[in-house]
A and B are shown apart, each in its own frame.
Chain A
Amino acid sequence: MSDDHKENITPLEAQSSESTTESGGSIKDIDYVRPAEVADQDLYHGHSFITKWIFCQDAKVIGVQYFLTAVFTGIVGLILSWLMRMQLGFPELVPFITAEHYYQFVTMHGMIMVVYFLTALFLGGFGNYLIPLMVGARDMVFPYVNMVSFWMFFVAVCVLMASFFVPGGPTGSGWTLYPPQAILEGTPGSGLGIILMLVSLCLFVIGFTMGGLNYLITVLQARTRGMTLMRMPLSVWGIITATALAMLAFPALLVSCIMMTLDKVLETSFFMPTILQAGEVLDYGGGSPILFQHLFWFFGHPEVYIVALPAFGIVSDLISVHARKNIFGYRMMVWAIVGIGALSFFVWAHHMYVSGMSPWFGFFFATTTLIIAVPTALKVYNWVITLWKANIRMNTIMLFTLGFIVTFVNGGITGIFLGNVAVDVPLSDTYFVIAHFHMVMGIAPLMVIMGAVYHWFPLVTGRMLSEKLGKWHFWFTFLGAYSIYFPMHYLGFIGVPRRYFEMYDSPYVTSAVGLNEFITVAALIVGLSQFIFIYNIVVSLRMGKPAGRNPWKANSLEWLTPELPPAHGNWGDKLPVVYRWPYDFNVPGAKEDYITQTTPPSEVLGAEVEKT
């Protein structure tokens, strides 16, 4: 074994060395780590092409599969957004887009981006690849179930895409799928389209329950020696809290989808009151549309935190590695993630302030919503304080994290506008809401995703992405996206409602035509500039600079496997042993500006490390 192997794994022999430290304690004492509690995991090794790359049980392969599938759906969603923006900015250029089409684009764009792109990417993509590596496990605890979970997701995507091709087309009810309109004539895709959407969502929930169980149990019960919960990177905390939210929030979505499917297929009346349509009273009666909204948003609000929390966790790791400084207030960050996760179950009806629900709920939900702003703000403070007295490398990844901070604070503040119930009254259902959620849930997490790809691409492929192309990609994306959504808030202020096929030119309000044209042009430029990213990835796969070992000089376990990119089983013969948290950057007295998690204290005796 070469010398650099020592950095990764401390053989048991070293622990029983008899040499002593300056203070008189033996090496054995300060390097003590509890012995293994359970036997090492026995993995299934695929040998054929199919069992190694298609029906593969290796979480890393599954992670890449999720990533690619999610990105594919994201590209579909992106193209839909171009079509929508063309209709809004230059309707005369797209006469073939009818109102029906437009609403179908709106719905599919929304559902794809929120659920099939962002959730699948963070939990299935990053979760599968990073979790076992970061906690020192060989794989997830149930690799077979993990594999099945991906294929469930794949089938769910196929069912969703199939809805484009059925008679009536995909559903055009808005991603929120509100009854009664979602299943009635007058809304596009109210036949097979809505049914396929509901079925696809049910499959998605089942698949992500299987995956989620894996992520949770792996982190709770399969960490390596020395890896306490408070030594886990914040990426893991973010993803795992999001998974816990998913386990508890997806049930409400499943139930609402089942009930709406029954309303459509069997003509039950769970959500359907007495309805008069085209002069005829329909066969429904006695149901409550607001019940659907409660169920949907009980899922829907935790859902946005399922997207946001992994982003919070990952960005903390990106900042600390590239600013060469420990994340400020790690314990507070952990509690903030967990606290935000828990509180997210108590705020759902802030999406329903003007829904006609009992007005007394408004007081309660406004209060809880504004309370949840506090831990979120603390996280923001901690990110920027991490930059204070740091040593910041202004590379592409750092640029993306700075872009995240700007867009997230912007989107978070506009959330405070909307959360304050009385302020929500004029702004609800206007473009202010659209601008808010795109900024905070579209752009900010997207900044993190892109930064994370630049950061972990060397790990997954062994090659670096081009810095030059990366910087161009960043500036186009960040400046372009900010120019789209910042001005859009003002469309909301003048009162333009959302989900309008045609912007009116009303004599009573300032014209929005010019602004809409500007936003459309910006959107198309941002969309096209993603080709820089794709080009960078494709070319760097073959011709990128070789990454070598741990190119970013990071501390966390995923960079410390014996083989890079990590092989099946991750750790070779011996599991790693962990001695510290992953944020020992620039520790006073240490030789280098980083100390990896597997470096025993005996190797850094001069360092004034804080005990973690």
Chain B
Amino acid sequence: MLRRTLLASLLTAPLLARAADEAIVEAARKEGALAMADSAPGENFQKFMAAFKAKYPFLEVANGFYSGPTGRVLARVNAEIDAKRLSFDVMLAANQAAWIDMTRQGKIARYESPEYPAYPSGAKMDGYWAAAQAIGVIPVYNKNMLAPADAPKTWLDLLAPRFAGRKMAIQNAAAGTQFNWSYLLTQRLGADYERKFAAQEPVVMATGAQMTDAVTRGEILLAAALDHWRAFTPEAKQAGLVAVFPTEGVPITTAPVGILAGAPHPNAARLFLDFMLSEEGQDLLDTKLYGMYSMRADVPPPQGEPTLSEIHPLLPTDMEAYLQASREFPQHFQGLFH
């Protein structure tokens, strides 16, 4: 599969290079390198970088590469910006509030990507960035431990007595995922929902991976706020994990991509941004490599997953309120769950 993708991109490379602005390509050739800070997990991202490199072989992409969890990527990039010693060109980081904030602070470069029009509002800030990855935050159970008939169908089902008393798990406040879950469900179901949910005494865990392990083993009955793609990996399917897409809608957490102001290789960065947000880039990144959603309507969902519109995605509408809530979230969370 990967080999075919690489082969295809090698064959189409000259065509696409022509499609991109020749001046940008020439300037990028002079820059010769791209430095990327990325929060997408694991080894799959290397495959995406390889596909980009195949398209623009004159760009060196390995030396400046940094990957880590979202919080660390943001801390690292901001530390460099504050010290006026930025080494990164492009950032992919799964925290939309941070993107809004950094854009206001002038830390994100303006660039009119030809790909922006393909993205819906709520998942982009025109002229600055757009969501490269979208993840549903959903309940997941193990069908070996919980009969599908007893499984929840809606968010309100999680308030049933059979899920009370440390039978469900959520992530702690450090996770952007958990903030989106909390904020968007409150928007959809009212502030009361989260309070009632907290009364069920869910277990708080440090990471999504830990939660997946716990629901796989049956240590908990339900992971109440899990990245949806974790229920669709081959191991998860074999273990019997089942994703629930509640009928009230699914909170979406996005990972935007954009160019940093003062990037050392701005033209290479433009090539990268255009590629990542293109139909081809999105199909590779989200559908093929990660099993996540693309916000583009022309990119199909990963195999075996419902389409984005079928799951009724919940996205923030008021960016100001969203940003404010994200600042208050640690205290808010602490008050409810500790």
Asked if A and B are interacting partners, one says no
Give A contacts to B, CB under 8 Å.
none
Give B contacts to A, CB under 8 Å.
none
